[in-house]
């Protein structure tokens, strides 16, 4: 069942929670090259988009949380970009590549032990290339502490609606 929270006056939408069987499928998708799951995950995000009847004054562009260079080398792909591409196929919204990882950033949020470490570690991870677009849907796969989404939103100039595949309720 879709849900949302309001954090810093921004609604953050979730398609589901991070528990079995979804958590297992996400691990298969991210770490075992099962890229065909991207379409299934995009459908869940699309259902959330439709469920909440999210509307915009202008047609939004899609942004996604970019992978670090190390993760791209290890996996060969950005899982969230694959989901976003499938979501784009369903909506017709263009994908923007304007949210980038700062080239000097190398850390992984997986290694952070608590919320404070996550918030400190994520600082200055992202760069945003200005665009004439002002409305965005920001896609991510798993929301744990919110540090990644908050940092990305802080860099993006414009109206941002985050839609996340899963909310991790255990952390």
9-59 pLDDT per residue, tens:
999 999 999 999 999 999 999 999 999 999 999 999 999 999 999 988 889
What is the band of 106 on the pLDDT scale with cuts at 50, 70, 90?
Answer: low
| pTM recorded for the entire structure | 0.92
Q: Is 120 exposed, middle or buried (0-12, 13-18, 19+ CB in 10 A)?
A: exposed
Number of structural domains the chain divides into: 1
**R_g of the chain computed on alpha carbons:** 15
Whether the CB-CB separation of 91 and 49 falls below 8 Å is answered with yes
pLDDT band at 107 (very low <50, low <70, confident <90, very high): low
pLDDT digits (tens, 9 = 90+) for 60-81: 999 999 998 888 889 999 999 9
Whole-number pLDDT of residue 114 = 74
- Strands 135-143 and 159-167, bridge-based pairing: parallel
For 54, residues 6+ apart whose C-beta sits below 8 A from its C-beta are 13, 137, 161, 163
In this predicted model, what pLDDT tens digit does every residue of 119-163 receive, in sequence order? 777 888 899 998 888 899 999 999 988 989 999 999 999 999 999
Q: What is the CATH number of the domain that holds 40?
A: 3.40.50
When pLDDT is cut at 50, 70 and 90, the band that residue 4 belongs to is: very high
8 or 95: whose pLDDT is higher? 95
Would the pLDDT of 101 be above 60?
yes
The parent domain of residue 90 ranges over 3-167
């Amino acid at each position: 069942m879709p849900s949302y929270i309001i954090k810093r006056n921004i609604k953050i939408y979730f398609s589901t929670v991070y528990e079995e069987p979804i958590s297992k499928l996400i691990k298969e998708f991210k770490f075992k090259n099962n890229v065909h799951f991207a379409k299934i995950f995009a459908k869940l995000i699309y259902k959330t988009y439709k469920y909440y009847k999210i509307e915009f004054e202008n047609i939004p562009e899609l942004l996604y949380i970019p992978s670090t260079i190390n993760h791209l080398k290890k996996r060969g792909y950005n899982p969230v970009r694959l989901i976003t591409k499938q979501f784009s196929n369903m909506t017709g919204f263009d994908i923007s590549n304007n949210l980038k990882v700062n080239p000097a950033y190398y850390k992984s949020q997986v290694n952070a032990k608590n919320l404070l470490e996550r918030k400190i570690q994520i600082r200055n991870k992202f760069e945003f290339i200005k665009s004439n677009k002002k409305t965005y849907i920001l896609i991510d796969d798993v929301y744990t502490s919110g540090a990644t989404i908050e940092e990305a939103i802080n860099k993006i100039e414009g109206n941002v609606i985050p839609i996340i595949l899963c909310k991790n309720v255990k952390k």
